[in-house]
Amino acid sequence: MMDSEPTSRRPAPRAGGDPAACASNRERLIQVAAVLFHDEGYHHVSLDRVLDASGVARSNFYYHFRSKEDLAIAVMDTWLERLRATVVAPALADPSLPALERVRRILDGLLDQLEVAGCRGGCPFGSLANAEAEHNERFRQKLVETFDGFARMLEALFAEAAAQGAIDDRRAPVDLAAATLALVQGGFLLTKTYAGATPMRIAVRGLLELLGVDPDARRAM
């Protein structure tokens, strides 16, 4: 049973939350796997490793999930919920702010997350896409759905900015959204590679200057 497992087998609380505090075995499996898959990569983490780290019995795992792949799909949902809660929701909390200011806050939030994590791990979605998108169609479709959702949110903000006269209406919001998404993913990749946030800072600063947004506004507050 879960409660009889030694606590020394539980991973230290990290980005996935405290597994010991999870309300259910299912949630505990997801939180533990979220950390392990992000830090070490999906293919480098066996199901046995997840079970050992979570203290959940194999029979109980199969009560909740059919496979490790199913668990990974649930983990992606958790990563997305965390991104919405920690970056997107705070950035969009005040709809009276200019649309481009809300875009800047999203980018600042992503940069803050990188720095808090010590520039390790990169974007969990991008890392999974690099490793699995060509080999696992189910993962690829889930990642497309995730990236498309982020792009639609940015497109709506850029359309609002165009309506406010803040950007040249010859720049299609859908193209600006796609460019921003590509910039963010490239910034995550280079930050992970160089083990420092400078590439992401340069990329974000360049985009904000192109959009006519003061990249130092948040730092000056």
Does residue 169 belong to any structural domain of this protein?
yes
Residue 79 lies in a domain: no
Q: Which residues contact 47 (CB under 8 A, 6 or more apart)?
A: 61, 68, 71
Domain that includes residue 54, residue range: 2-68
Residue 14 is given by DSSP the state B
The verdict on residue 53 lying in a domain is yes
Residue 8 has pLDDT above 60, yes or no: no
Q: CATH no. for residue 8?
A: 1.10.10.60
Last residue of a domain, one of 19, 47, 68: 68
52 and 160 together in one domain:
no
Residue whose token pair is 């309506």: 163
Residues 6+ apart with CB under 8 A from 60: 2, 25
Query: What SS3 class is residue 17?
Result: strand
- Residue 130 shares a structural domain with residue 203: yes
What confidence tens digit (pLDDT) does each residue in 140-173 have? 999 999 999 999 999 999 999 999 999 987 889 9
User: Same structural domain for residues 64 and 102?
Assistant: no
Do 112 and 191 share a domain, yes or no? Answer: yes
Domain shared by 173 and 102, yes or no: yes
pTM for this model (two decimals): 0.82
We report the CATH number of the domain holding residue 182 as 1.10.357.10
Q: What angle, 0 to 180 degrees and rounded to 10, lies between the N-to-C axes of helices 173-194 and 137-163? A: 120
Q: Does residue 104 share a domain with residue 199?
A: yes
Does pLDDT of 9 surpass 70?
Answer: no
51 and 120 co-located in one domain: no
Is residue 104 one of the residues assigned to a domain? yes
100: CB partners within 8 A, 6+ apart = 157, 161, 166, 167, 211, 212, 213
